[in-house]
A and B are shown apart, each in its own frame.
Chain A
Amino acid sequence: DQQVKQNSPSLSVQEGRISILNCDYTNSMFDYFLWYKKYPAEGPTFLISISSIKDKNEDGRFTVFLNKSAKHLSLHIVPSQPGDSAVYFCAASELTGGGNKLTFGTGTQLKVEL
């Protein structure tokens, strides 16, 4: 049972445009959400996070939106740059669940074209 879902395996956008990556979750106990970026042959690197007490968090070109009622979050990248081309993983955690374990989605491959 996939508790964190990224239904788009891939996304292609033009440089300078907005990239929107989506993520849905089913476990209502999740209260902390993170986005990781992964280049080939490297480990994932943390990008941005949001707790369930917020509906938006912004860091430079990256903004994460959380809609708790819909159990949906999205990552906006604007403007998109060629260096943003990577796999993006959505992850969720229960802050009081013990062990701070993360449940990951299956990832979305973003390609930013010139």
Chain B
Amino acid sequence: NAGVTQTPKFRVLKTGQSMTLLCAQDMNHEYMYWYRQDPGMGLRLIHYSVGEGTTAKGEVPDGYNVSRLKKQNFLLGLESAAPSQTSVYFCASMGNHLYNEQFFGPGTRLTVL
């Protein structure tokens, strides 16, 4: 099992450019999440999904869109990148059981100039 994988690992964008971050999991998990980690602020939830075809807003959703067309994939889109979106992005997945933990991917480091 590869677990949770994220593509790409690194990316540099110019202000106004768009991009999509891909998260894939091979554990047949129902729940998937996108977080961003910034210095001194821990991990903050951007968007999440409780199953294929569903998405919901987290704590900091502005400037991002997501899609969950297939159960194993969760895409995070930036339509018009801003320097404030410079961050490390983590994807996570979790099975549909009580007392479960989230499994995290290795992260994508994004810099917006």
Binding site for B on A (CB under 8 A): 4, 6, 9, 32, 34, 36, 41-46, 49, 51, 89, 95, 98-107
Contacts and interface: CB of A to CB of B under 8 A. Distances in A.
Nearest to A42: B106
Interface string B17-32: 0000000000000010
B42 A95 contact: no
A43 B104 contact: yes
A104 B42 contact: yes
B106 to A, nearest CB: 5
A90 B18 CA distance: 33
Nearest to A102: B102
Nearest to B45: A101
A49 B99 contact: yes
Contact of A104 (B44, B94, B99, B101): B44
Contacts of B107: 41-43
B45 A43 contact: no
A106 B106 contact: no
A55 B107 CA distance: 33
A99 B99 contact: no
Given A43-B90, A105-B42, A99 B31 contact: yes
Interface in B13-65: 31, 33, 35, 40-45, 48, 50, 56, 58-59
Contacts of A4: 42
Given A41-B107, A105-B42, A34 B101 contact: yes
B98 interface: yes
Given A43-B106, A99-B50, A89 B100 contact: no
